[in-house]
């Protein structure tokens, strides 16, 4: 029996924030030392930050990470620590993790399987480690680099770095051939709906199949702008999770730990057999470090367990709330902004956006308390000396504006006013009808004819949306705040948004989610709400309405779905066409039995409408404000879904659809 206290550290890092990243790493190391931890695993690339993008191509970034590593190493006395950093070896850059023992650098492991799908572009910057072990030379010193197994005081330690664990040929299998006791997995695994369950299976399977204690660490927060990290960290032993944290923490760093019998699956280590060595690329990467002695631990309970909202059935609405809320707070403070501005129309999108800001503050206070809340919101708190509660903080950082024209209704005005009041936002009402008429008058005079709805419908709608942008931009400038765009993914797919109107903003927090889900989420928020915060009955006024842009005269009875198609259908077509890459005819054959009440000719018309609008509006998606990544249906052309701005508009494919179906 060998009882050792293992820990996974969660860090909220920022790319290229060298002093900040160093501070958070050392805070986690100090906390681990105070808790009697023997082995601490910290996240992937935690020294430089994971999301450095093309800055990784700069030699100065790798050099700075190397210098920072050597500032950190002496501070790691009394325990074993793994750290992630970019490392250049023989003209190639590697995503590496190092192992430090009692303030001494032992060596490096390089990532073998790079993430190159979806939002990940690791092969653009890094080389995949080809396997085996090599010698790394720098500053007149040498260290081992590669598929290393470290023997620290009789405990053998190996690595899988993030994507390594997702590969079919996991490096852990080779490590197991060397009688490894502990596998460390430093990760930067972004949030997506339901992804935590997949990670859990990988950790459990690694622990069970390899006969090891498995320590999985991850980033937390909005690290670089688009990807949100949920801080999912786990420790597993004998095929069971023995420690796991609560995700979406607002803390700068956090630890989970557990005392594990690391010899439970393996006896005291022996040199690997010749056959085992041959199985591991015919390399003998065993490094002995006998100078360090682990402190024996008592079999105590794990130090952290998930919150109650995580222990039950998966609730997508809860995950959505907590992911976007955390993303908003981090985006605000890391961009050094002093709040948020939302053009609140009283409809689904803007109401959801405003509520998410309010939830962010309330969830932050629930976890950290009012004193820490002020520290977290330091970019705003400089001018607010007295402590505030969550409602007062929301009033301080969130400003909403209802901007009416002649086509606005009293229903949406009241809904906007009630939502703002219920969440505690500072609320204004602007009447922009005079500005609309001035623009119409100027253009009418230039054209020498009056503008009319029967001939100039789209232009007359769009000018109302565009006139609303300058006022809220001005408020954002005056308050040094972030203007939040309120466009959703369904509208982005078909361009149902006015460029430089409702797309205006520096951040689009709901552009990564579809309209049908937003409507369900608002109903959930009205009746249930996030755990610890509760329901918001004022949303009933929003949920009772049919979504409408209110850009045509009231007599037109304009609704979004009449302009487009039912949102449930639009989202189904979008998933099939963009995520699943099906042709128009394949989509028709797939949808017809799933929507039996829709006439076949009408269904064909709507499928055609989607593809034509999708192709025509790629230029809009290229100009959208940054959005949060939430699932594998993202339309962001900069990180997920690339499509040509100019294309053939699916003419041949749509003709084939009509020919095949006799339409």
Domain's final residue, options 542, 558, 574: 558
Claim to verify: residue 547 and residue 592 sit in the same structural domain: no
What is the domain range of residue 648? 565-663
Domain's final residue, options 310, 341, 366: 310
pLDDT in tens, 426-447: 999 999 999 999 999 999 999 9
Q: In angstroms, what CA-CA distances link 115 with 120, 148, 575?
A: 6, 21, 23
Instruction: State how far the Cα of 407 lies from the Cα of 141, in Å rounded to an integer.
Output: 74
pLDDT over 80 (residue 307): no
Contact 572, 633 (CB under 8 A): no
pLDDT of 524 reads 98
The enclosing domain of 648 has a CATH number of 1.10.10
**Which residues are CB-neighbours of 369 under 8 A, at least 6 positions away?**
none
Domain's final residue, options 501, 529, 558: 558
pLDDT top residue among 595 and 386: 595
pLDDT of 302 reads 61
> What mean pLDDT comes out for the span 393-409?
95
pLDDT of 384 reads 65
pLDDT top residue among 313 and 610: 610
pLDDT bracket for residue 43 (50, 70, 90): very high
β partners of residue 114: none
pLDDT over 50 (residue 553): yes
Q: What is the DSSP string of 208-235?
A: HHHTSEEEEE-BEEESSSS-EEE---EE
pLDDT in tens, 143-201: 999 999 999 999 999 999 999 999 999 999 999 999 999 999 999 999 999 999 999 99
pLDDT in tens, 47-101: 999 999 999 999 999 999 999 999 999 999 999 999 999 999 999 999 999 999 9
> What mean pLDDT comes out for the span 306-326?
89
pLDDT bracket for residue 267 (50, 70, 90): low
**Residue among 139, 530, 160, 474 at smallest CA distance from 317:** 530
pLDDT bracket for residue 312 (50, 70, 90): confident
Claim to verify: residue 543 and residue 625 sit in the same structural domain: no
CB atoms within 10 A of CB 134: 18
State the total domains in the chain: 3
pLDDT over 60 (residue 645): yes
Q: In angstroms, what CA-CA distances link 120 with 50, 161, 555, 630, 639?
A: 10, 15, 49, 14, 8
pLDDT of 382 reads 63
Instruction: State how far the Cα of 203 lies from the Cα of 192, in Å rounded to an integer.
Output: 17
pLDDT of 30 reads 98
pLDDT of 314 reads 85
**Which residues are CB-neighbours of 432 under 8 A, at least 6 positions away?**
403, 404, 405, 464, 467, 468, 471
pLDDT bracket for residue 313 (50, 70, 90): confident
pLDDT of 322 reads 98
Claim to verify: residue 161 and residue 19 sit in the same structural domain: yes
**Given CA atoms 33, 39, 43, 47 in this order, what sign does their dihedral have?**
positive
Tell me the longest C-alpha to C-alpha distance in the chain: 92
pLDDT top residue among 488 and 295: 488
pLDDT of 516 reads 94
The enclosing domain of 478 has a CATH number of 3.40.50.620
Claim to verify: residue 400 and residue 273 sit in the same structural domain: no
Q: In angstroms, what CA-CA distances link 562 with 292, 405, 519, 653?
A: 71, 21, 17, 25
pLDDT of 376 reads 84
Claim to verify: residue 492 and residue 626 sit in the same structural domain: no
Return the SS3 of 340: strand
pLDDT bracket for residue 377 (50, 70, 90): confident
pLDDT bracket for residue 273 (50, 70, 90): very low
Residue corresponding to tokens 């399987």: 113
pLDDT of 585 reads 96
Q: For 29-38, 138-147, 272-281, 610-619, which range has the lowest pLDDT when averaged over its residues?
A: 272-281
The enclosing domain of 297 has a CATH number of 3.60.110.10
pLDDT over 50 (residue 276): no
pLDDT over 50 (residue 648): yes
Return the SS3 of 92: strand
pLDDT of 269 reads 46
Claim to verify: residue 87 and residue 235 sit in the same structural domain: yes
Which percentage of the chain shows pLDDT scores above 70? 92
> What mean pLDDT comes out for the span 4-22?
98
> Within 13 A of 634's CA, how many CA atoms are on the CB side?
27
Claim to verify: residue 71 and residue 204 sit in the same structural domain: yes
Claim to verify: residue 157 and residue 9 sit in the same structural domain: yes
CB atoms within 10 A of CB 406: 11
Q: Which two tokens stand for residue 225?
A: 């702008």
Question: How are the residues of the chain apportioned to helix, strand and coil, as percentages rounded to the nearest 5?
Answer: 45, 20, 40
Claim to verify: residue 572 and residue 548 sit in the same structural domain: no
pLDDT over 60 (residue 280): no
Claim to verify: residue 323 and residue 228 sit in the same structural domain: no
Mean pLDDT of the chain: 92
Claim to verify: residue 372 and residue 236 sit in the same structural domain: no
pLDDT of 275 reads 43
Claim to verify: residue 374 and residue 323 sit in the same structural domain: yes
């Amino acid at each position: 029996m060998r009882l050792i206290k293992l820990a996974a550290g969660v860090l909220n890092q920022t790319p290229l924030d060298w002093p900040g990243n160093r501070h958070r790493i050392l805070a986690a190391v100090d906390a681990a030392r105070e808790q009697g931890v023997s082995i601490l695993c910290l996240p992937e690339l935690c020294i430089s930050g994971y999301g450095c993008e093309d800055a990784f191509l700069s030699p100065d970034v790798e050099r700075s990470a190397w210098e920072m590593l050597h500032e950190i190493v002496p501070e790691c006395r009394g325990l074993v620590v793994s750290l992630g950093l970019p490392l250049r070896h023989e003209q190639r850059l590697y995503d590496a993790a190092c192992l430090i023992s009692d303030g001494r650098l032992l060596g490096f492991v390089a990532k073998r399987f790079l993430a190159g799908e979806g939002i990940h572009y690791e092969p653009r910057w890094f080389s995949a480690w080809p396997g085996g072990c090599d010698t790394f030379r720098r500053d007149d010193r040498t260290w081992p680099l590669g598929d290393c197994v470290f023997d620290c005081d009789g405990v053998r330690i190996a690595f899988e770095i993030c994507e390594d664990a997702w590969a079919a040929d996991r490096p852990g299998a080779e490590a197991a051939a060397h009688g490894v006791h502990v596998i460390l997995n430093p990760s930067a695994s972004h949030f997506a709906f339901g992804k935590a369950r997949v990670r859990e299976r990988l950790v459990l399977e690694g622990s069970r199949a390899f006969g090891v204690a498995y320590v999985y660490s991850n980033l937390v927060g909005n690290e670089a702008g688009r990807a949100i990290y949920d801080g999912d960290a786990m420790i597993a032993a004998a095929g069971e999770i023995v420690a796991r944290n609560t995700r979406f923490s607002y803390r700068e760093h956090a630890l989970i730990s557990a005392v594990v019998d690391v010899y439970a699956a393996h006896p005291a280590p022996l040199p690997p057999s010749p056959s085992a060595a041959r199985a591991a690329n015919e390399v003998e990467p065993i490094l002995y470090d006998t100078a360090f002695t682990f402190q024996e631990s008592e079999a105590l309970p794990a130090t952290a367990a998930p919150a109650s909202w995580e222990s039950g059935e998966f609730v997508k609405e809860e995950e959505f709330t907590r992911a976007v809320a955390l993303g908003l707070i981090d985006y605000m403070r890391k961009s050094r902004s002093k709040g948020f501005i939302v053009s609140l129309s009283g409809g689904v999108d803007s109401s959801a956006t405003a509520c998410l800001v309010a939830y962010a503050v309330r969830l932050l206070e629930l976890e950290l308390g009012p004193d820490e809340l002020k520290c977290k919101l330091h970019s705003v708190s400089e001018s607010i000396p007295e402590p505030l509660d969550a409602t007062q903080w929301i009033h301080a950082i969130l400003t909403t504006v209802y901007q009416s024209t002649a086509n606005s209704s009293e229903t949406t005005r009241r809904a906007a006013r009630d939502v703002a009041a219920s969440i505690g936002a500072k609320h204004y009402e602007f009447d922009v009808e005079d500005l609309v008429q001035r623009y119409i008058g100027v253009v009418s005079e230039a054209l020498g004819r009056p503008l009319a709805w029967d001939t100039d419908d789209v232009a007359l709608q769009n000018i109302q949306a565009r006139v609303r942008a300058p006022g809220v931009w001005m408020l954002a400038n005056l308050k040094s705040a972030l203007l939040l765009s309120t466009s959703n993914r369904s509208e982005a797919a078909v361009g149902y948004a006015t460029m430089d109107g409702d797309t205006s903003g520096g951040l689009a927090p709901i552009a990564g989610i579809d309209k049908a889900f937003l409507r369900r989420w608002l109903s959930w928020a009205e009746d249930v709400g996030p755990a610890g915060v509760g329901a918001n009955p004022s949303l009933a006024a929003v949920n009772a309405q049919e979504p409408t842009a209110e850009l045509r005269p009231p007599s037109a009875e304009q609704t979004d779905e009449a302009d487009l198609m039912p949102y449930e259908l639009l989202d189904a077509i979008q998933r099939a066409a963009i995520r699943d890459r099906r042709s128009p005819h394949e989509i028709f054959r797939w949808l017809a039995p799933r929507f039996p009440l829709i006439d076949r000719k009408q269904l064909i018309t709507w499928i055609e409408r989607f593809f034509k609008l999708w192709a025509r509006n790629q230029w809009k998606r290229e100009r959208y404000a940054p959005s949060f990544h939430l699932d594998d249906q993202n339309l962001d052309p900069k990180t997920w879904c690339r499509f040509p701005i100019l294309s053939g508009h699916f003419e041949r494919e749509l003709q084939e659809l009509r020919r095949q179906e006799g339409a």
